[in-house]
Amino acid sequence: MKPLEKLGLAAADFCLVLASIVIALGLRKEFDWNHMVAQFLWSKAQLAFVLGLAATTVFTFYLNGLYEKVWRYAGVHELVGVIKACMWSFIPFQLMVLADRGQIFPRSGLVLTGLVTVNICGGVRLLLRQASQWMGKPITTTRVIIVGANDAGEAIARDKSRKFVPIGFVDDRPDRAGISIHGVPVQGKLEDLPSLIDSHLVTEVVLAEPRPADVKRVMDLVSGKEVKLRVVPAMQDLVAGKVEMNRLRQLSIEDLLEREPIKVDPELVRPLLAGKRVLITGAGGSIGSEIARQVASFGPEKLLLVGRGENSLYEIGLELPQATLLVCDVCRERILERIFEEHRPHFVFHAAAHKHVPLMEAAPAEAVYTNVFGTRAVLNACQKYGVERFVLLSTDKAVNPNNVMGATKRMAEKLVAQMAHPGYAAVRFGNVLGSRGSVVPTMQKQISQGGPVTVTDPAMTRYFMTIPEAVTLVLQASGLAQGGEIYLLDMGKPVRILDLAHNLIRLCGFEPEKDIPIKITGCRPGEKLEEQLVGQNESTEPTRLSKVAKVITRVPGQEWPGEQLEELRQHCLNGDQRQCRLLLQRLLERAEGQGESSAQSEAS
């Protein structure tokens, strides 16, 4: 609030307190005005007493922060503040009256004056709020606390749209204590957030610096409070001066990874893809479609989107009209070869796969056919038609696999490693937040239906990455690939699925167990309690890119997989689920037990 506005409010309160004194005296003397003036409002001492009481009351209002609040948004908290201020200001004057034995002012008059002052000063504030509603001007302005007295916080406080009331900042840095930015004071530290929300009727908390650790802490602090959490937009918007309340986004589950997100420098990838023909399999899926969007921004000569599901392919085609849509199952080798022969792609990103662990446990033949033989068909077409770079999208479930899906992806990794073609590589993902069929969309749907949110085991943990991070890893790996390596993103610490459920429920504005129950269902077929990023016979070494490591793995000998691969194909075509599972296990045991350690070293 501006200084002139505070002065005006103080003057109004001074007049209201004087009016309260007169009314209290009137009640005391039955409104005998002649007697009141003659006995109590004539001498200089009595007049000084009255003016001093009014001035002290206004000063106490100021000390209690009543002039930092907007009257037309006043509520019970403002009324409590008026009561406290009156008590502190009237007590010393009451002691003076008692010591003077009521000569300067009636002893019971101050008690009446205090009651009248509370009713008038508090009542006027509440009446202003009510009058605003009666006049058809409902209180829609948002009362906001900004976490972080930094550049982004300054931009929010500077926002001239004023569709919100900035109550203040909270910041843990000592040098921020007591400062004011655009008239908005730093009200305290992060730990003061709950009390500030209550005392100022805050409806939104804006994180001006959404560091993962702070996001988690803020969520814990506001747990149980009816407030929305919002965060600043992207850094480029901050630089462009676009940080306004109507541009802020809701807090998302991606903000809770408890680590800084990994970003790619577009200039590292642009020279590789600009003017090239790029083919993406599984282009209608969550990851494939995002790869398509990113690749399209680098100006390829031709963008070829291959997918089996025509509906999802059609949707990404509407978004990217410059792309060529090709409906094709990657297991159809002849059709796939015709596509490669006609379009001659330079780059191939292979995202097509079956990824649902429990479903693939029940259908191993389908998992093997798509994930193993589909990958082999794409690899063969790439080699035959001179594709420069190939990237396989793998998963952390391929590490020491105990399920069919993980085993098929491990087989696909081995096929890439064995081919050892220059420019070909694989990347391992953790669980991708928001991808189709993943845990987060499932939980969100359960929350929207009122619960329960199902968690398989309280101890289950997973590595998580965002869709943009997954695409970052793919694009970076395409530039690092030398010949069959596996690349891995630093995904921080694994996250407990139970913690994820709690955080997601809170993000949706509910309290876990209180509003939305959580049900423990037990592990599903093929699920592990914990995932690993690197296998027992593997190691990692750093690359020239921060947060990206290369996995040193065993390369199968040239005799692998041999005739057993064709035998596996026949079992898949015949739908022999048991034999598919057994032969897949045997082939993997041979691949892991035979071969030589990859000694490829990365070019500096």
User: What's the confidence (pLDDT) of residue 141?
Assistant: 63
Q: Is pLDDT of 446 > 80?
A: yes
SS (H, E, C) 501-558: HHHHHHHCCCCECCCECEEECCCCCCCCCCCCCCCCCCEEEECCCCCEEEEECEECCC
Cβ atoms of 71 and 9 closer than 8 Å? yes
Residue 514 annotated among the catalytic residues of the structure: no
How far apart CA 58 and CA 11 sit, in angstroms, is: 8
- In the chain, the percentage of residues whose pLDDT exceeds 70 is 81
Q: Per-residue pLDDT averaged across 411-430, rounded?
A: 92
Residues whose CB falls within 8 Å of the CB of residue 120, separated by 6 or more in sequence, listed in order: 16, 19, 20, 23
User: What's the confidence (pLDDT) of residue 72?
Assistant: 52
Higher local confidence (pLDDT), 32 or 223: 223
Q: Is pLDDT of 578 > 90?
A: yes
Higher local confidence (pLDDT), 69 or 549: 549
Q: Per-residue pLDDT averaged across 25-42, rounded?
A: 62
DSSP secondary structure letters along 292-309: HHHHHTT--SEEEEEES-
User: What's the confidence (pLDDT) of residue 510?
Assistant: 80
Confidence class for position 328, pLDDT limits 50, 70, 90: very high
User: What's the confidence (pLDDT) of residue 353?
Assistant: 94
- pTM for the structure as a whole: 0.67
User: What's the confidence (pLDDT) of residue 241?
Assistant: 45
Higher local confidence (pLDDT), 127 or 311: 311
Q: Do domains 142-251 and 266-597 have the same CATH topology?
A: yes
User: What's the confidence (pLDDT) of residue 248?
Assistant: 62
User: What's the confidence (pLDDT) of residue 286?
Assistant: 87
Q: Is pLDDT of 226 > 60?
A: yes
pLDDT in tens, 229-251: 887 764 444 444 444 445 566 66
User: What's the confidence (pLDDT) of residue 237?
Assistant: 44
Confidence class for position 582, pLDDT limits 50, 70, 90: very high
Q: Could you tell me the residue ranges of all domains in the chain?
A: 3-134, 142-251, 266-597
The catalytic residue among 69, 276, 355, 397 is 397
Confidence class for position 598, pLDDT limits 50, 70, 90: very low
Burial (Cβ within 10 Å: 0-12, 13-18, ≥19) of residue 514: exposed
Residue with tokens 């199902």: 454
Cβ atoms of 531 and 550 closer than 8 Å? no
How far apart CA 294 and CA 273 sit, in angstroms, is: 10
Confidence class for position 433, pLDDT limits 50, 70, 90: confident
Confidence class for position 14, pLDDT limits 50, 70, 90: confident
Higher local confidence (pLDDT), 361 or 81: 361
pLDDT in tens, 106-142: 766 667 777 888 778 777 776 766 665 555 544 446 7
Architecture of the structural domain at 142-251 = 3-Layer(aba) Sandwich (3.40)
What integer best gives the mean pLDDT of the chain? 82
Confidence class for position 585, pLDDT limits 50, 70, 90: very high
Question: Which whole-number Å values give the CA distances from 82 to 95, 115, 363, in the listed order?
Answer: 20, 11, 71
Instruction: Tell me which fold the domain 266-597 belongs to.
Output: Rossmann fold (3.40.50)
- In the chain, the percentage of residues whose pLDDT exceeds 90 is 32
Q: Is pLDDT of 389 > 90?
A: yes
Q: Per-residue pLDDT averaged across 489-507, rounded?
A: 85
Nearest to 93 by CA among 146, 58, 57: 57
Q: Is pLDDT of 601 > 70?
A: no
Q: Per-residue pLDDT averaged across 307-332, rounded?
A: 94
Q: Per-residue pLDDT averaged across 73-97, rounded?
A: 73
